[in-house]
Amino acid sequence: MKRRTLLTGAAALAAAPLAMPHAQTPVSVRWWFHFDDTTASPAALVADFEKANPDIRIVAERIPWGGSSDYYNRLYTTLIAGGGPDCAMVRFLAQPRLMEMEALRPLDDLIAAWPGRADISDLLWRLHLAPNGHRYYLPVQYEVPYLYVRQDWFAEKNLKLPTDFESFLNAAKALTGGDRWGFGMRGGAGGHQQWGAFVLGGAKMEKGGLTTPAALAANRWFLDLHRVHHVFPPSAPSDGFVQIIANMKAGRTAMTIHHIGSANEMTAALGDRITAVTLPRGPGGTGWAEFGDESNAIFTQSKNPEAAWKWISYLSTSAPNVAFNKLSGQVSVTTSGAKNWDAEPQRFLDATAAGLPIAAVLPPMPQTAEFTLTVWPQTMQKAMLGQITPDEMMQIFDKHYFG
């Protein structure tokens, strides 16, 4: 059931043109944010914005992440109670629920008139279009997973860096032996990104699309990396982010999949011995990389949506966006900002940008949050342990999404 009681007149607000208030007293904009680095502060950005906009005061509220469910449950609860922020950092996984609640102010008119729009790639705008054709999110940062590789090990074996599934498999087998494994598989929560890189390029996330012959074959191929070729560490069924990164840094794995958020940590441990390449392509050149987003949204209950727009659009503008993403550990969404990027070594930024053409998101449906947090990891672990077949695994996913 839609929450039409969130704010009386919300639809009228969305349709009405924005007008700045006549009062001289600064209006307040409450903005929720979270950074992986709990010591990172947007205070300098707030001060810079307020200096240029003395009629607006930004109340930046750091909300503990504690996992996506914690952050969003708190957001949903406060919005329903009518005490939510004017705007907040949000991800695609929350968009279906927020749309159902009618909590999001459409940004189409504002984005169309915004001079900064042209500095953001069409590839990013494509991904930020909601299923109903409207835009509710303004991109502020992004990440695209890539393949970390120990290029020194590849050189020792005279192997070329992988570009497709065949060269990936050959390298993983050649680099497995003793106390080393070819690929650091993430079987715990979040590992759907790795699975998707090898399966979803040839499968369709639609009813019946996960159980086609091509989709089933792709999933069997991926599981055979573990069941037949044994290129994963024995702990792979339960490994999470911490384990795959630790294994790579310690020299136990030759390849793994993550994103630029771990690039500096990897470089500190391995230096030039590690690099990154775009995720391998499957048959016919198909590929899939889960677009890791973070955006800003304005809520319909905001009393100052025009001031909130000034704030979030400032954060997505060239220099401020670069400064913001040096705090967040992600990549600037602006073309101009990316040209002078120095927060991570250039090779990792190049691998990130090269993945945008195959970047995609999981279905913007309420089922996706549960899929990534529980359904995928629990089902994958059962398949890796031989408790269900690969085909049964895909049937479970199909039923979860499409009944």
pLDDT tens, residue by residue, 121-153 = 999 999 999 989 999 999 999 999 999 999 999
List beta partners, residue 56: 27
At 241-272, the pLDDT tens digits run 999 999 999 999 999 999 998 999 999 999 99
Residue extent(s) of CATH 3.40.190.10 domains in the chain: 23-143+291-359, 146-290+364-402
- E-strand spans in 27-113? 27-33, 56-62, 87-90
Average pLDDT, the chain: 91
Asked whether residue 23 carries a pLDDT value surpassing 80, the answer given is no
pLDDT for res 67:
63
pLDDT for res 3:
40
pLDDT for res 16:
38
pLDDT for res 269:
98
Q: 331 near 341, Cβ under 8 Å? A: yes
CATH architecture of the domain 23-143+291-359 equals 3-Layer(aba) Sandwich (3.40)
Element holding 382 (H helix, E strand): helix 376-384
State mean pLDDT over 292-313: 96
pLDDT for res 36:
84
Task: Take residue 367 and report the two structure tokens written for it.
Answer: 């089922």
Give the lowest-confidence range in 10-24, 53-67, 111-125. 10-24
Q: 211 near 394, Cβ under 8 Å? A: yes
Give the lowest-confidence range in 60-69, 217-226, 237-246, 351-360. 60-69
Name the pLDDT band for 68 (thresholds 50, 70, 90): low
Asked whether residue 99 carries a pLDDT value surpassing 90, the answer given is yes
State mean pLDDT over 181-204: 95
State mean pLDDT over 15-40: 75
Q: Which pTM value belongs to this model?
A: 0.84
State mean pLDDT over 274-301: 95
Strands 274-277 and 289-290: what pairing? unpaired
DSSP 63-94: ---SSHHHHHHHHHHHHHHT---SEEEE-GGG
Residue 121, CB-side half-sphere exposure with 13 Å CA sphere: 19
pLDDT for res 17:
39
| Rounded-to-integer distance, Cα 256 and Cα 100, Å | 37
pLDDT for res 298:
98
Locus of tokens 């070329």: 160
Q: Which of 308, 288, 376, 368 is nearest to 95 (CA)?
A: 368
Q: 300 near 368, Cβ under 8 Å? A: no
| Rounded-to-integer distance, Cα 108 and Cα 121, Å | 16
Residue 30, CB-side half-sphere exposure with 13 Å CA sphere: 13
pLDDT for res 7:
37
State mean pLDDT over 289-301: 95
Task: Take residue 394 and report the two structure tokens written for it.
Answer: 């895909």
- Which residues, 6 or more positions from 19, have their beta carbon under 8 angstroms from its beta carbon? 306
Q: Which of 30, 39, 29, 32 is nearest to 328 (CA)?
A: 39
Buried b (16+ CB within 10 A) or exposed e, 252-279: bbbbbbbbbbbbeebbeebeeebbbbbb
Higher pLDDT, 41 or 368: 41
Give the lowest-confidence range in 19-23, 214-218, 223-227. 19-23
Kindly report the CA angle at 116 between 115 and 117, in degrees rounded to 5? Answer: 90
Q: 67 near 14, Cβ under 8 Å? A: no
Asked whether residue 42 carries a pLDDT value surpassing 90, the answer given is yes
In order of 150, 195, 238, 295, the CA distances from 180 in angstroms are: 12, 21, 18, 39
At 206-215, the pLDDT tens digits run 999 999 999 9
Element holding 293 (H helix, E strand): strand 292-298
Strands 289-290 and 359-360: what pairing? parallel
Name the pLDDT band for 299 (thresholds 50, 70, 90): very high
List beta partners, residue 60: 31
Q: Which of 393, 369, 368, 361 is nearest to 128 (CA)?
A: 361
CATH numeric code, 146-290+364-402: 3.40.190.10
Q: 128 near 137, Cβ under 8 Å? A: yes
DSSP 350-361: HHHHHTGGGEE-
Q: 63 near 42, Cβ under 8 Å? A: no
Q: Which of 272, 267, 230 is nearest to 249 (CA)?
A: 267
At 337-382, the pLDDT tens digits run 988 788 999 999 999 999 999 999 998 888 888 899 899 999 999 9
- Which residues, 6 or more positions from 106, have their beta carbon under 8 angstroms from its beta carbon? 14, 134, 135, 136
pLDDT for res 373:
87
Q: Which of 27, 65, 64, 58 is nearest to 43 (CA)?
A: 58
Asked whether residue 19 carries a pLDDT value surpassing 70, the answer given is no
